[in-house]
A and B are shown apart, each in its own frame.
Chain A
Amino acid sequence: MITNSYTVLNPTGLHVRPIKTIVQAASEFPCKITVLSNGKKANGKSSLSMLTLGIKMNDEVTLEIDGEREEEALQAIGALLVQIHE
């Protein structure tokens, strides 16, 4: 399992659109992708559970990725977490 932490820079936090982008990207990978923030845990392939994290701008988010192609997934999802989406 590999892990890394990020600070969300999107001014409106992680809302529907950025979450959609992240979930769609995550679903492309076979590995297990877990997103941790604000003391809560979510399935990176589920927009519903990602929404319940309530991630705001400047929140710290940790990715835990386990399984096939985990390095590649960490790169891709990590970049989306710090990107400004809108």
Chain B
Amino acid sequence: MTQPQLQGIAASPGIAIARAIRIDLEEYIPEKTTVQDPKQEVARFRQAVEAAGEQIEGIREATEQKLGAEKAEIFEGHLLLLEDPELIDVVVENIENDAVNAEYALYEVSQSFIEMLSQLDDEMLRERAVDIRDVRGRVLNLLRGVGGSDHTQLQEECIIIARDLTPSDTAQLNLEAVRGFVTEIGSRTSHSAIMARSLDIPAIVGAGAAIQEIQNGDLIVMDAVEGQVWINPDSSSLEQFRVNKARYDQRKAELAVWVDKPSLAKDGHRIELAANIGKLDDVQKALDNGAEGIGLFRTEFLYMGRQELPSEEEQFQSYKYVLEKMAGKPVVIRTLDIGGDKELPYMDLPKESNPFLGQRALRLCLERDDLFRTQLRALLRASQYGNLKIMFPMIAVRDELFEAKRILKEEKQLLIEAGVAVSESIEIGMMIEIPSAAISADLFAPHVDFFSIGTNDLIQYTMAADRMNETVSYLYQPSHPSILRLIRLVIEAARQEGKWVGLCGEMAGDLASVPLLLGLGLHEFSMSAGSLLQTRELIAGLNYAQWQEHAKQALTLGSQQEVQAFVQEIQKGENE
């Protein structure tokens, strides 16, 4: 295939092939003139502002009907700009004091805000300049008595080529005909990028000045998975692009079917598919991909990239947010897992010669119980906003669990005495990531509500092989019989006590491992959101009862290679 002519940022995934339509945004810069009657000029300005408000209100209503209230909200922001005292009142003052024309006064005042915004380091805020340009452009057009661009009549399939798209531009496109967006500037948080994602239209932003080479009617191929654009490709490449596109679209449609389905094996056995999250934005992605819960909420992000420990209030707000957003679905929140490869400079922890075997996670929390108690209080307070489950990491022996539970109980008691509402149904669980805990899971099972197996660490500790050390990376063997036997031990111990077991390592979303984990009786599979749908699809084709037998057999095999070959063989047989 030929090299792409343009490379930009893939802002909304997909592949599109269609003719180009350019939307040119030549910005009008008004000249400064003196007006004879400033009062009359102010009246002219106010009239234009009012008319702009009416137009925006019309677009807002149309957008709300077409795309829903959330997409229309941006125009409420535009209406607010038309009432903004620092914009409108200042423009009026300038016209009155300097006897200048309204166009010039408006341009200058809004320009100063655009420049202030452009100096911020926050990309999302910098992008807001587009709203000011959009509203300013509209009022300027009204003052000058010229119409704006109108593409509501677009009929043929097209790819929109623009410098940047304002909310008004996108509202005035016939989106039914638009197959993709390519813009010269912008980032993943630009209006056009957000719009494209919510409409599920492929978009590439920030493709650079070279987009000026594209002419109306050019045949464009855009691969918005890789961020690449081809202009008028030769026929053999085009053929290949069409094949790729068909394959991509088909796979996407196949997976989309699974979003709202329960996670059932072929014989009706039900499991739970949950998402691992590490920041608050991940929650929406989890829901979009059909997560039935959060199986692992890593709380480290609250502690990292800052100068001091997060306050109880800050943590409370974050936990509450996730619990509310998940609306009653289970949310497993893991207490702080710091140390090992995750350091917090402001805590000034002593250097350890072997941090992965040192004072990390719960070991540190029990030593520094001030920070542990702060986190537990925040969790307890948040518990009444959803289905919270608290999980302790890095437990090797039972006393650690007892101590953690004792502290939790104390904090809960204190809160209740202080009159704070705390849920009565918080499940308490622990990670199984240290071989001692896996081997003696039966000793722990009566004292927890659930286990969650953290395979990344469990494999590293079982094999005594550093995950980060490439020379021993061959020992990272999720399907090795030793690991599978440990997983079985944990699941059996839990079953005896009527407790459930989840798995939140990479293995949970590894398609080669899922059949065996199902067969071993795993209840909850927690993985990155992007793996959920394909895992649900895979499980629907597996027979639980049969895989129970297969899993038993796999445990008797001699190596990971033998296990993998065995699983492959069975799946091949089933597919025939």
Contacts and interface: CB of A to CB of B under 8 A. Distances in A.
A15 B77 CA distance: 11
Contact of A48 (B73, B81, B124, B279): B81
Report, nearest first, the 4 A-B pairs whose CB atoms are least far apart.
A54-B120, A46-B86, A52-B116, A11-B280
Contacts of B318: 9, 11, 84
Interface string A1-33: 000000101011101110010011000000000
B356 interface: no
Contacts of A82: 313, 317
12 contacts: A11-B318, A12-B281, A15-B125, A16-B74, A20-B80, A46-B87, A47-B77, A51-B117, A51-B128, A54-B121, A84-B280, A84-B321
B212 interface: no
Interface residues of A, number: 25
A49 B317 CA distance: 26
A12 B314 CA distance: 13
Task: Identify the interface centre among A9, A15, A56: most chain B CB within 10 Å of its CB.
Answer: A9
Contacts of A7: 311, 314
Contact of B122 (A9, A47, A49, A56): A56
B80 A23 contact: yes
Interface in A49-78: 49, 51-52, 54, 56, 58
A47 to B, nearest CB: 5
B125 A54 contact: yes
B317 A47 contact: no
B306 interface: yes
A55 to B, nearest CB: 9
B76 interface: yes
A12 B123 CA distance: 11
Contacts of B116: 52
A16 B85 contact: no
B113 interface: yes
Given A17-B73, A54-B122, A49 B128 contact: no
Interface in B58-76: 73-74, 76
A52 B317 contact: no
Contact of B281 (A11, A15, A48): A11
A24 B73 CA distance: 14
A15 B124 contact: yes
B313 A45 contact: no
Q: Is the interface of B mostly helix, strand, loop or mixed?
A: helix
A81 B514 CA distance: 45
Contacts of A46: 84-87
Nearest to B125: A54
A47 B80 contact: yes
Contacts of B132: 48
Nearest to B132: A48
A34 interface: no
Nearest to B320: A84
A9 B85 contact: no
A20 B77 contact: yes
Contacts of A13: 122, 124-125
Contact of A9 (B80, B306, B314): B314
A48 B86 contact: yes
Contacts of B280: 11, 84
Contacts of B80: 20, 23-24, 47
Contacts of A24: 80
Contacts of B121: 54
B317 A9 contact: yes
A8 B211 CA distance: 40
A67 to B, nearest CB: 15
Contacts of A20: 76-77, 80
Interface string B33-51: 0000000000000000000
Nearest to A85: B321
Given A15-B125, A58-B306, 11 more contacts: A7-B314, A9-B317, A11-B279, A13-B122, A24-B80, A46-B87, A48-B86, A48-B87, A48-B113, A84-B317, A84-B321
A52 B120 CA distance: 8
B83 to A, nearest CB: 8
A11 B320 CA distance: 13
Contacts of B321: 84
A24 B80 CA distance: 9
A16 B317 CA distance: 20
Contacts of B84: 46-48
A6 B113 CA distance: 25
B86 A43 contact: yes
Contacts of B113: 48-49, 51-52
